[in-house]
Amino acid sequence: MPELNQTTLNELVGRVLGDLGGAVSVPLVRIGDALGLYQTLKEIGPAKPDELAEATGCAPRYVREWLSAQTASGYVHHERGRFSLTPEQSFIFAEPDSPVNLIGAFDTAAAMVENQPKVQAAFKTGRGVAWGDQAGCMFCAVARLFRPGYVNALVQDWLPALDGVIAKLEAGATVADVGCGHGLSTILMAQAFPRSRFTGYDFHPGSIAAATAHARAHELTNLHFEVGRAQDFEGRDFDLITCFDCLHDMGDPEAAAAHIRRALKDGGTWMVVEPAAGDTLEENLNPVGRLYYSASTMICVPTSLAQETGLALGAQAGERRLTEVIRSGGFTRVRRAAQTPLNMVLEAT
């Protein structure tokens, strides 16, 4: 057995213990969200455990232990027997529209654990795990994960970063949101630009049903949703086509790029929003890359391998590889129009 470097070992053990603490926090965070513990604590805090328990209709003993665990994680503030949320803690756990609300990430982590048997079996066969066969409500979790970024950046920053697109949308454009999932991105655009017409496409019927229900709940009349694949959806002469965090999941993204090019009007724009990533493994050895590589192993690669050619770009494909895929469809100009810590926005014409 090779000689151990005790300092290196202790550092690694410390990191793993920290990781385990985060892992076992997943169900506790989801309980706090589902039972309104964070939201209520934000409203009534500083509060004693019994007070929070009474306000939420929960058992005091469970609430006391939950608060202790949350305090140990740094998710809740404790002082002199009372618990509260700092403004920063509220921004992450109790503000649904915050750009750093991370509850959806905890939901996604739970779905990934539930999905382990299917992905583990796929490691041996090399086959994929279809999006519709993912465990639990993976679709709901992913939609919630991406929502804060879309709410805070899509209309405010991403669309204005595209050449001439805002003027078209304000005047009345035709837009396709391909791979729309539960339709959150489509709805945000439809609300912001009532003169434009929006069609959301997704190959998963369950997601289209959820998107349609969301649109009805918002009483929007300038959009509709259809089941359709990226490489052969119906519809032509679009001024703008968008793909949010989905190109890397597609089985044949090159065919999708070619079809999207044909579906655009002359002078039309394709906006591709993808996870932030460098072009090499070394560039992605950071907290964001760590999250995305893990999610890619459990969700993105299995989803792609279950389709057509199964190109399996992965969530950390990087701008250079994505640009190659986009150009393969006939686009001659690709540029990075905007970025956030979690996303990059590519404009193709």
Q: For 140-185, how does the pLDDT look when each residue is reduced to its tens digit (9 = 90+)? A: 888 899 999 999 999 999 999 999 999 999 999 999 999 999 999 9
Rg (CA), the chain: 22
pLDDT band at 257 (very low <50, low <70, confident <90, very high): very high
Record the pTM: 0.93
Burial class (CB in 10 A: 0-12, 13-18, 19+), 301: buried
What pLDDT, in 10s, does the model give residues 173-202?
Answer: 999 999 999 999 999 999 999 999 999 999
Domain 6-93: CATH class, spelled out: mainly alpha
Look at residue 258 in the predicted model and tell me its pLDDT.
98
Taking the domains of the chain in order of start, what are their residue ranges? 6-93, 103-348
What pLDDT, in 10s, does the model give residues 118-130?
Answer: 999 999 999 999 9
Task: Report the distance separating Cα 269 and Cα 162, nearest Å.
Answer: 8
pLDDT band at 2 (very low <50, low <70, confident <90, very high): confident
What pLDDT, in 10s, does the model give residues 207-241?
Answer: 999 999 999 999 999 999 999 999 999 999 999 99
Architecture of domain 103-348: 3-Layer(aba) Sandwich (3.40)
pLDDT band at 139 (very low <50, low <70, confident <90, very high): confident
User: Taking 80 as the threshold, does the pLDDT of residue 136 lie above it?
Assistant: no
Task: Report the distance separating Cα 196 and Cα 219, nearest Å.
Answer: 15
How many residues appear in the chain? 349
